[in-house]
C-alpha cells in the first residue's frame, strides 16, 4: 500500500488494514515520517521527533501481531502527544524556554494506557507555552501554521495536535483543554477534537495549567476515531485524586449501534453578536441536518454565559500562578546565568524562561489570590462558577446536548489578536463555560468558508455521558465527514 | 514605682507522623538514608505529578485529636500555602488553612513539685487546632552554595497549635514533655527532636500584670531541643521585659534562637511577612471523615500517661517517683505491668524496673554503636525472668544482695535467675548448724561488739552480721543470722 493512501486513512481504517494483514505497523510509521518530512517545514506541528524510537515501537507491534499477541485495535497505530504530556525518556518543554532541557523520567497515565494498548507514540507537538493561548503563537519555539492556510493560526493552545491531524502527520493526537484548547484548534483546523468530562481522563503526567479545568482529550479525522482513542485513555486512576471512579463503556462499540434522535438545545447567548456570518450559516445547516434526522431542536438560555470569561481568567490564572511556581531554576528548569543570589535564581530564571503571556497570567493569578483581594476575586469567581454549572444543570433537564458554534470565527491571521490579549481571550467565548461546568464538549467539522477555511460545530453533553455526546456527533459526522477532507500542502 | 510584667505564650509544635509512605505519594519515609533517595515525581514536584492523600496519616491525625480531646472535623480540606523557598519543590506547601482536621482540645501538664519526689500541680493547656501538612526538605548551607535533600520533603507533618495559655518557661517545658510523652505512647511519632521529628516555634508576648489584652507577639524559631525551647523563651522574656522597662517598643517580628550565643536575633519583621496566598488545592478533594471510622480509632487509643500514673499510685501503691519514671514510656510500663502480674508486690517490681532495668538499658545503649539497637521491647531479659528473680527473693531462695549482683548478668546473657543461682551455687544458706558456728566465730573474733550489744547498743549487732555475711559471700539468710546472733548473745 502506498504511503499517500496510508496517511489519508482514519485510525479505524488503519487498524482494519493491519488486522487484514494488508500492511505493517512499520510501513504506517514510515509513511507518517515521510509526510512529516514533506510538510512539517511549513506547518511546524512538531517540537521534537525521535524517529528511531517511533520505528522501534512499530516494529514491536508487528512482532506482537506475528505472534498473535496484538494488544487491541490501537496496536500499531501512531499517536502523537501535545508537549505537556509526559513520556518517559522524552523531552517535555510545554513550549517554554524554562523546560528546554527537561526530559521526563516517567509516563503520564494516558501514555501508560496508550503503550498498554500497543499504540506507537510519536513526536512532541507544539502548543502555546504552558497551554496558555488560543493561537499557538505563544510557543517559545515558533508558531504552528494552519494547514488550510499557512498565513493563519491553527488555534490553540493544542495547535500542534490539531494541525498534525489536519496535515495528515498523525492519525491520532492528544491535546489538553482548559478553556477550549482542544475544541477551538480542532474547529480551526477542520478535525474532530473532544474534551471529556472533568475526571474522566487522568491528569497524572499532564503539566498542569489550571488543575480544576484541565482535561486531556483526543483529536482525529472522525468521531469514530475519537471514540476509539477516548475509550483507551479514560478511566479511574488512583494517581489522580480528581479522577472519577466510573466504568468506561466501549464507545466505539456504542457507535455501531443505532442511536435514536433526541433533543438538542440552542442557547440564545451563543448565537448573538460577534459571530462570523459564514460560521452562522454552517452551524444553521448543521441544525437543519439534525432536524431532518428527527432531532427535536429547542431554544434555551444560559444567562451566566457572559460571566464565564471573567470567572475563567480569575480561576485559571490563580491556579496557574501556583502550578507554575515549581519552574524556578532550582532543580530541572533552566537557571539564569545572570543569577547572583537566591532571589535572583527565581526572579531572573523565571523572567528569562517564561514568555509574556505566561508572566501576565502568573501575575494576574497571584494578584487575585493576594490577601485583601481573595474574597473579591477568587472566592467570588468560585461562587459564580457554581451558578454557571447550575445553568447547565437546568438546561440538561430539557435537552440531551447543547449545540453551538465552537469558535466565533474561522482561523485568523498571525498577529491579528496577539497584541490584544482581551480579543484573544474572547476567541474562547463559546468553549470556556464547558470547562467551568466540568462537562464534556466536542468540536466536529461542519463545513468550510468560501475561502476554504474549516468551521466547527460544538456539542456539549451531560457529565459522564460521553456515550450520548459521541452518538449525536457521530450521526452528523458519519454522513458528512468534513474531517476526511485534507488540505493541499503541495508547493 | 515599677511595673510588673507577666508573660503569655503559645506554642506551635510540628510532629512528623510515623507512617510508611509520604503524605501525598507512595514513596517511603525515613531518616538517615542517602540524600535524595526517598523521592519520586510527586516529591520532586516534576511537571504533571499529582498528590494523592495518605489514609494512614489521616488516621494517625484523628488518633492525636482523640488523644488530646479535640473535635474531629466532619470535613477537612487541603489548601496551598504559596511561597518560594528551595526546600519546597513545588514552591507551595499543601496544608490546611481554614478547615483543619482537629479543633480545640487540651494537653494536661504537670508543673514541678516542691521537691523531685513530690507530685506537682496539674493543669490543662488549651489547644486551638491541629492540622496536617507536608514537610519540606532539608537545606545545608556552605560558604557559597547550599545543598538540599528532599528525603524529608512530603513527609506527613502535624501542626499542633496551642492557645496563648502558657505563662512560664516551666509550663512550656512541662507542655512539651507531656505532649511528647502522649504522642510517643500512642505510637504517633518517635518525637526525636534531634532528628527533626518534633519541632517547635514559640509565640512570646509580655504585658503589665493586671491587664488583659495581649502584648505584641514575637515568634521564636530554631528551638531545637526541649531545653532549648525553655532557654529561648526565658531569654526572650528577659529581652522584652528589659525593652519595656527601658521604654522601648516591642516589634511584631520573627526571631531566631541561637543556642551557641544563647540569645535571639531578628529574622524578619511583620512588614517582611509572606502573603501565602492560600487557596483550596484543586488537585485534592475535601476529606469527609466517617464518624464510624472515628469510633473505631477511638477504641485503639491507649491510656494517657497521666491517667496511668494516677492508676499506678491509687491501685498499686507505687511511689510518685517510680510512676514518674515509668509513665512517660509506654513500652516500659508494659514491661512493668507484665512483671508485676507475675509477682506479688507491684512496688518491688516497679523498683526493679525503674532502678535496675533502666540502668542496664542505658548502659547497653552507651556501650553499643547502634543506639537504637536496644530497647525495652527487645532486651534479652523478658519480664518473666525479672519476675522469677523477684519471686526467688520473696521465697528466700536468694538474698536481695545476690539478686542485685545477678541482674546485670541476666540482662547481658538472657539466662534465667534459677539457672544462674544453680550454676553458681548461690542459694541462700539457712542451715542452722553452719550459721551457728559462723555466728559463734564472729562473736569470738569481735568481743568488743558483742559487749556493746549486750550493754544495750542495738546497732552493734550489725558489725557481727556483716562478718557472717562476708564469710558466706552474702548467701546466708539474714533473718536466720539475726535470730542466731541474738540467741547466742542473750545466753
Query: CA B186 to CA A371: how far, in whole Å?
Result: 39
Q: Chain B: nearest CA to A299, how far in angstroms? A: 34
Paired residues of A321 in beta bridges: none
For residue A353, the chain B residues in CB contact (below 8 A) are none
pLDDT at position B370 over 80: no
pLDDT at position B411 over 80: yes
Assess if residue A326 is contained within a domain.
no
Are A106 and B46 within 8 A, CB to CB? yes
CB A10 within 8 A of CB A220: yes
Overall average pLDDT of the B43-57 stretch: 97
pLDDT at position B158 over 90: yes
User: Domain tally for chain A?
Assistant: 1
pLDDT at position A487 over 90: yes
- Between B254 and B419, the more confident residue is B254
Overall average pLDDT of the B411-437 stretch: 79
For CA atoms A226, A229, A231, A234, give the dihedral sign: negative
Assess if residue A16 is contained within a domain.
yes
| C-alpha B380, offset from chain centre | 23
Using the Cβ of A319 and the Cβ atoms of chain B, whether some distance falls under 8 Å is answered with yes
Are B277 and A371 within 8 A, CB to CB? yes
Q: Which of A61, A181, A202, A471 is catalytic?
A: A181
Q: Chain B: nearest CA to A309, how far in angstroms? A: 19
CA Rg value for chain B:
30
What does the domain layout of chain B look like in residue ranges? Answer: 5-295, 303-424, 432-490
Reported as a pLDDT band with limits 50, 70 and 90, residue B59 is very high
Nearest to B80 among A92, A102, A322 (CB): A322
Q: Where are any strands of DSSP class E within A107-181?
A: 120-125, 172-177
- Between B458 and B68, the more confident residue is B68
pLDDT tens, residue by residue, A422-443: 778 888 889 999 999 999 999 9
Are B92 and A212 within 8 A, CB to CB? no
C-alpha cell at B73: 472535623
Are B47 and A369 within 8 A, CB to CB? no
Domain of A424 in residue numbering reads as 3-266+397-484
**Considering only alpha carbons, which residue of chain B is nearest residue A319?**
B282
pLDDT at position B64 over 90: yes
Using the Cβ of B161 and the Cβ atoms of chain A, whether some distance falls under 8 Å is answered with no
Query: CA A229 to CA A174: how far, in whole Å?
Result: 9
Assess if residue A321 is contained within a domain.
no
ipTM of this complex prediction, to 2 decimal places: 0.96
pLDDT on residue B454: 85
Using the Cβ of A86 and the Cβ atoms of chain B, whether some distance falls under 8 Å is answered with yes
For CA atoms A36, A40, A41, A46, give the dihedral sign: negative
Instruction: Convert B468-481 into a string of H (helix), E (strand) and C (coil).
Output: HHHHCCCCECHHHH
pLDDT, averaged across chain A: 96
CATH classification of B432-490, choosing from 3.40.605.10, 2.60.120.20, 3.30.70.20, 1.10.10.410? 1.10.10.410
C-alpha cell at B214: 495581649
Please tell me the least confidently modeled range out of A181-185, B9-13, B408-412: B408-412
Query: CA A408 to CA A413: how far, in whole Å?
Result: 14
For residue A378, the chain B residues in CB contact (below 8 A) are 279
Active-site residue, A321 included? no
Please tell me the least confidently modeled range out of A44-53, A356-365, A377-386, B209-218: B209-218
Overall average pLDDT of the B19-46 stretch: 95
Assess if residue A262 is contained within a domain.
yes
pLDDT at position B372 over 60: no
Paired residues of B201 in beta bridges: B12
pLDDT on residue B334: 94
Where does B327-399 have alpha helices with state H?
Answer: 330-341, 346-351, 358-367, 383-394
Overall average pLDDT of the A73-77 stretch: 98
**Considering only alpha carbons, which residue of chain B is nearest residue A205?**
B48
Active-site residue, A157 included? yes
CATH code for position A419: 3.90.1300.10
- Look at residue B330 and give its three-state secondary structure: helix
Q: Chain B: nearest CA to A376, how far in angstroms? A: 13
Tally of CB atoms within 10 A around A479: 9
Amino acid at each position: 500500500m502506498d504511503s499517500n493512501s496510508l496517511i489519508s486513512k482514519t485510525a479505524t481504517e488503519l487498524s482494519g488494514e493491519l488486522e487484514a494483514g494488508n500492511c505493517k505497523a512499520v510501513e504506517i510509521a514510515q509513511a507518517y515520517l515521510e509526510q512529516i518530512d514533506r510538510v512539517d517545514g511549513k506547518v511546524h506541528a512538531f517540537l521534537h521527533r525521535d524517529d528511531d524510537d517511533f520505528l522501534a515501537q512499530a516494529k514491536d507491534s508487528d512482532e506482537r501481531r506475528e505472534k498473535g499477541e496484538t494488544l487491541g485495535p490501537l496496536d500499531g497505530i501512531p499517536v502523537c502527544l501535545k508537549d505537556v504530556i509526559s513520556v518517559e525518556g522524552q523531552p517535555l518543554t510545554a513550549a517554554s524556554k524554562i523546560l528546554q532541557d527537561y526530559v521526563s523520567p516517567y509516563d503520564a497515565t494516558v501514555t501508560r494506557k496508550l503503550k498498554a494498548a500497543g499504540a506507537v507514540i510519536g513526536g512532541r507537538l507544539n502548543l502555546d507555552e504552558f497551554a496558555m493561548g488560543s493561537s499557538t503563537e505563544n510557543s517559545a519555539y515558533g508558531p504552528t501554521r494552519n494547514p488550510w492556510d499557512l498565513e493563519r493560526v491553527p488555534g490553540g493552545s493544542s495547535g500542534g495536535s490539531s494541525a498534525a491531524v489536519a496535515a495528515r502527520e498523525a492519525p491520532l493526537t492528544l491535546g489538553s483543554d482548559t478553556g477550549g484548547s482542544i475544541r477551538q484548534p480542532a474547529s480551526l483546523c477542520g478535525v474532530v477534537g473532544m474534551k471529556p468530562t472533568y475526571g474522566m481522563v487522568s491528569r497524572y503526567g499532564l503539566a498542569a495549567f489550571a488543575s480544576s479545568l484541565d482535561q486531556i482529550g483526543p483529536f482525529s479525522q472522525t468521531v469514530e476515531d475519537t471514540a476509539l482513542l477516548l475509550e483507551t485513555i479514560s478511566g479511574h486512576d488512583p494517581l489522580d485524586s480528581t479522577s472519577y471512579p466510573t466504568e468506561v463503556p466501549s464507545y466505539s462499540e456504542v457507535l455501531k449501534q443505532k442511536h435514536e434522535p433526541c433533543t438538542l438545545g440552542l442557547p440564545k447567548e451563543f448565537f448573538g453578536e460577534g459571530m462570523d456570518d459564514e460560521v452562522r450559516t454552517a452551524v444553521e445547516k448543521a441544525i437543519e441536518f439534525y432536524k431532518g434526522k428527527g432531532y427535536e431542536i429547542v431554544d434555551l438560555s444560559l444567562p451566566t454565559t457572559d460571566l464565564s470569561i471573567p470567572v475563567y481568567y480569575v480561576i485559571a490564572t490563580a491556579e496557574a500562578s501556583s502550578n507554575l511556581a515549581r519552574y524556578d531554576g532550582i532543580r530541572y528548569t533552566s537557571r539564569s546565568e545572570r543569577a547572583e543570589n537566591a532571589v535572583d535564581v527565581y526572579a531572573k530564571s523565571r523572567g528569562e524562561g517564561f514568555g509574556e503571556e505566561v508572566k501576565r497570567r502568573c501575575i494576574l493569578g497571584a494578584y487575585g489570590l493576594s490577601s485583601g483581594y481573595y474574597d473579591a476575586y477568587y472566592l467570588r469567581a468560585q461562587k459564580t462558577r457554581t451558578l454557571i454549572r447550575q445553568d447547565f444543570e437546568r438546561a440538561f433537564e430539557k435537552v440531551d446536548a447543547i449545540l453551538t458554534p465552537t469558535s466565533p470565527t474561522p482561523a485568523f491571521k498571525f498577529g491579528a489578536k496577539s497584541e490584544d490579549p482581551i480579543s484573544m481571550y474572547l476567541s474562547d467565548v463559546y468553549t470556556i463555560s464547558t470547562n467551568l461546568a466540568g462537562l464534556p464538549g466536542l468540536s466536529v467539522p461542519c463545513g468550510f468558508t468560501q475561502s476554504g477555511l474549516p468551521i466547527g460545530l460544538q456539542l456539549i453533553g451531560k457529565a459522564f455521558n460521553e456515550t450520548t455526546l459521541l452518538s449525536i456527533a457521530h450521526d452528523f459526522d458519519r454522513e458528512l465527514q468534513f474531517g476526511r477532507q485534507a488540505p493541499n500542502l503541495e508547493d | 514605682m515599677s511595673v510588673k510584667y507577666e508573660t503569655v505564650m503559645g506554642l506551635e509544635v510540628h510532629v512528623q507522623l510515623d507512617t510508611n509512605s509520604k503524605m501525598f505519594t507512595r514513596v517511603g519515609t525515613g531518616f538517615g538514608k542517602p540524600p535524595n533517595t526517598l523521592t519520586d515525581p510527586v516529591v520532586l514536584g516534576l511537571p504533571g505529578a499529582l498528590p494523592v492523600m495518605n489514609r494512614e496519616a489521616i488516621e494517625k491525625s484523628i488518633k492525636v485529636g482523640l488523644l488530646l480531646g479535640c473535635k474531629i472535623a466532619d470535613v477537612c480540606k487541603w489548601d496551598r500555602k504559596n511561597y518560594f523557598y528551595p526546600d519546597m519543590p513545588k514552591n507551595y506547601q499543601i496544608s490546611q488553612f481554614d478547615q483543619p482536621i482537629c479543633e480545640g482540645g487540651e494537653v494536661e501538664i504537670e508543673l514541678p513539685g516542691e521537691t523531685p519526689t513530690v507530685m506537682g500541680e496539674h493543669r490543662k493547656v488549651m489547644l486551638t487546632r491541629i492540622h496536617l501538612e507536608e514537610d519540606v526538605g532539608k537545606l545545608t548551607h556552605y560558604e557559597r552554595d547550599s545543598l538540599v535533600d528532599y528525603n524529608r520533603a512530603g513527609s506527613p507533618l502535624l501542626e499542633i497549635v496551642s492557645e496563648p495559655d502558657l505563662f512560664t518557661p516551666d509550663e512550656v517545658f512541662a507542655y512539651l514533655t507531656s505532649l511528647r510523652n502522649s504522642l510517643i505512647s500512642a505510637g504517633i511519632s518517635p518525637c526525636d527532636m534531634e532528628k527533626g521529628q518534633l519541632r517547635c516555634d514559640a509565640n512570646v508576648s509580655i504585658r503589665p500584670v493586671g491587664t488583659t489584652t495581649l502584648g505584641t507577639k514575637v515568634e521564636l524559631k530554631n528551638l531545637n531541643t526541649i531545653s532549648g525551647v525553655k532557654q529561648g523563651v526565658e531569654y526572650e522574656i528577659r529581652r522584652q521585659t528589659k525593652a519595656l522597662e527601658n521604654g522601648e517598643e516591642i516589634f511584631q517580628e520573627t526571631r531566631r534562637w541561637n543556642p551557641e550565643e544563647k540569645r535571639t536575633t531578628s529574622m524578619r519583621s511583620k512588614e517582611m511577612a509572606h502573603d501565602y496566598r492560600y487557596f483550596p488545592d484543586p488537585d485534592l478533594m475535601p476529606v469527609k471523615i466517617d464518624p464510624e471510622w472515628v469510633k473505631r480509632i477511638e477504641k485503639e487509643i491507649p491510656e494517657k500517661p497521666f491517667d496511668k500514673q494516677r492508676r499506678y499510685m491509687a491501685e498499686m501503691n507505687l511511689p510518685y517517683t517510680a510512676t514518674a519514671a515509668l509513665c512517660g514510656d509506654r513500652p516500659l510500663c508494659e514491661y512493668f505491668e507484665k512483671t508485676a502480674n507475675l509477682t506479688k508486690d507491684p512496688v518491688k517490681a516497679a523498683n526493679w524496673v525503674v532502678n535496675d532495668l533502666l540502668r542496664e538499658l542505658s548502659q547497653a545503649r552507651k556501650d553499643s554503636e547502634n543506639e537504637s539497637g536496644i530497647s525495652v521491647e527487645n532486651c534479652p531479659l523478658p519480664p518473666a525472668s525479672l519476675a522469677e528473680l523477684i519471686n526467688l527473693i520473696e521465697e528466700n531462695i536468694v538474698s536481695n544482695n545476690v539478686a542485685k549482683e545477678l541482674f546485670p548478668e541476666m540482662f547481658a546473657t538472657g539466662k534465667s535467675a534459677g539457672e544462674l543461682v544453680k550454676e553458681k551455687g548461690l542459694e541462700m544458706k539457712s542451715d542452722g548448724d553452719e550459721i551457728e558456728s559462723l555466728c559463734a566465730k564472729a562473736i569470738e573474733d569481735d568481743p568488743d561488739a558483742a559487749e556493746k550489744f549486750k550493754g544495750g547498743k542495738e546497732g552493734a549487732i550489725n558489725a557481727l552480721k556483716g562478718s557472717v555475711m562476708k564469710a558466706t559471700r552474702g548467701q546466708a539468710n539474714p533473718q536466720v543470722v539475726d535470730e542466731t546472733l541474738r540467741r547466742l548473745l542473750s545466753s
